Amino acid sequence: MTGPRGNPFARIRIIAREEYRRALETRWLFGFTALFAILVLGLSYFGLAQGREVGFQGFSRVTLSLMNLVLFLVPLTGLIVGVGSVAGSGEALPLLLAQPVSRREVLLGKYLGLGAALTAAQALGFGGGGVVVAFQTGSDQIAGFAALTILSVVLGWLSLATALCLASLFPDRLRALSAALLLWLGMVVLYDIAILGATAMLRGMSLQVVLVPALLLNPVDLVRVLITIAVGSGALFGPTSAVLVRFFGETGGILLAMGLLVVETVVPLFIALRVFRARDW
């Protein structure tokens, strides 16, 4: 490892650049870029295929159709890529730690490099597909699509921070990957089942007391709320979204949700830095 002595930012930048280069070499960045672009174009063109209507649809329909797939794929991608960078790195990590760099610099460099790669895949995929859709249908409701893209990037960085935390806590690759998949399953699948069960069992204020904390603790649902607000589709609000808007108002709910997303990114990254520095790799 070479880099200016006494300049931690330069060393972090070198590690981040190397992590980004590895993403290019393993081709996962290109794969996800193509996947996101195909999803945008496919949902726009074939979104009404069940009604025997084929052709490009506008951004409003594309955004709403794409939202659930984004909430499904992006956390899974970030968790798997982040865990694999630390817990599945083989001899590369010990070799890197043997260089004259601190462990904090190593983990921050990995986080920034992976985050930049995932952001590039999302920006190019959504952006390329969005340009085609705009050319075909116009730019109406493009603000909602832009919000979806930005929040997808935010969710990607959050998922990477969580993945690095899990990989630091569970250095064994199988255990770390199992923990990541269980967390993803809980946030994306089991969470909705639990909310539906609570909705069916509880009524009135007791229901609201359960739903508000449940919403605030799940970043996937926070992103869903922000996207539906950006698109202006209040009719699609689930019970948790409706409760958030009722309690805090639309503007207050947006600010609260964005603040919580920042907290839910910073906290696992801070834990990862503390555990990674103390663990014997």
Convert the pLDDT of each residue in 46-80 to its tens digit.
Answer: 765 454 566 677 787 788 888 888 999 999 999 99
Query: Which pLDDT score, from 0 to 100, does residue 204 have?
Result: 55
Residue, of 255 and 238, whose pLDDT is higher: 255
Domain that holds residue 239: 8-278
DSSP character string of 62-123: HHHHHHHHHHHHHHHHHHHHHHHHHTT-TTHHHHHHTSSS-HHHHHHHHHHHHHHHHHHHHH
Q: Give, in degrees to the nearest 5, the angle at Cα 37 between 33 and 39.
A: 120
Residue 146, in any domain of the structure: yes
Q: Are 167 and 85 in contact (CB under 8 A)?
A: yes
d(CA 45, CA 59): 11
User: Which residues, 6+ apart, have CB-to-CB distance to 259 below 8 Å?
Assistant: none
Q: Report yes or no on 2 lying in a domain.
A: no
Q: Is residue 3 part of a domain?
A: no
How many domains, in total, are found in the chain?
1
- Whether 29 is covered by a domain: the verdict is yes
Q: Write down the H helix ranges in 170-238.
A: 173-185, 191-201, 204-216, 219-231
- Is residue 117 in some structural domain? yes
CA-to-CA distance for 219 and 256, rounded, in angstroms?
12
How far apart are alpha carbons 112 and 170 in whole angstroms?
A: 21
Residue 173: pLDDT over 60? yes
Confidence of residue 199 (pLDDT cuts 50, 70, 90): low
C-alpha angle 7-8-11 in degrees, rounded to nearest 5: 95
Q: Directed axis angle between helix 239-278 and helix 191-201, to 10°?
A: 140
Quick check: is 245 in a domain?
yes
Domain contains 1: no
In a domain, 141, yes or no: yes
Global pTM reads 0.89
